[in-house]
Amino acid sequence: MPEKTLTRAEISEAIAENVGFPRHRSMELLEQILEQMIVGLVEDGELKLSSFGSFNVRQKNNRIGRNPKTGKEVMITPRKTISFRASHILKEGVLKK
């Protein structure tokens, strides 16, 4: 399976072509959407996109890990992380391709 990253520029270009916006306006729109997604995660700790999936902010506790090169145990500090759970519609769409 070839690895290809979908870039903001490519998404913006697709918006411009499909909606008929100028390229600079479609990039502004994409940036505003992504910013609102970040705001939602920061303020509410979750973001749900119907037919796509859910993003959640999780708090991870400190734990003991191991350096894979040396095998030495190290303490991993507590931190926040984002998890994603795909909707069944997204899963089905990916499995069909």
The model's pTM: 0.74
Q: Is the model's pLDDT at 1 over the cut of 80?
A: no
Would you say residue 25 lies in a domain? yes
Would you say residue 62 lies in a domain? no
Query: Domain range holding 2?
Result: 1-44
Q: Is the model's pLDDT at 4 over the cut of 90?
A: no
Identify the residue whose tokens are 């390229």: 23
Residue 11 CA to residue 75 CA, distance in Å, equals 40
Would you say residue 8 lies in a domain? yes
Band of pLDDT at residue 97, cut at 50, 70 and 90:
confident
Would you say residue 14 lies in a domain? yes
Q: Which helix H or strand E contains 49, and what residues bound it?
A: strand 46-49
Would you say residue 50 lies in a domain? no
Q: Return the number of other C-beta atoms located less than 10 Å from residue 44's C-beta.
A: 11
The count of domains in the chain is 1
User: In angstroms, how far apart are the furthest CA atoms of the chain?
Assistant: 57
Instruction: Output Rg (C-alpha) for the chain, integer angstroms.
Output: 19
Would you say residue 67 lies in a domain? no
Would you say residue 97 lies in a domain? no
Q: What is the pLDDT of residue 8?
A: 93
Band of pLDDT at residue 64, cut at 50, 70 and 90:
very high
CB burial of residue 21 (10 Å; 0-12, 13-18, 19+)? middle
Give me the mean pLDDT over the 49-65 stretch. 94
Would you say residue 3 lies in a domain? yes
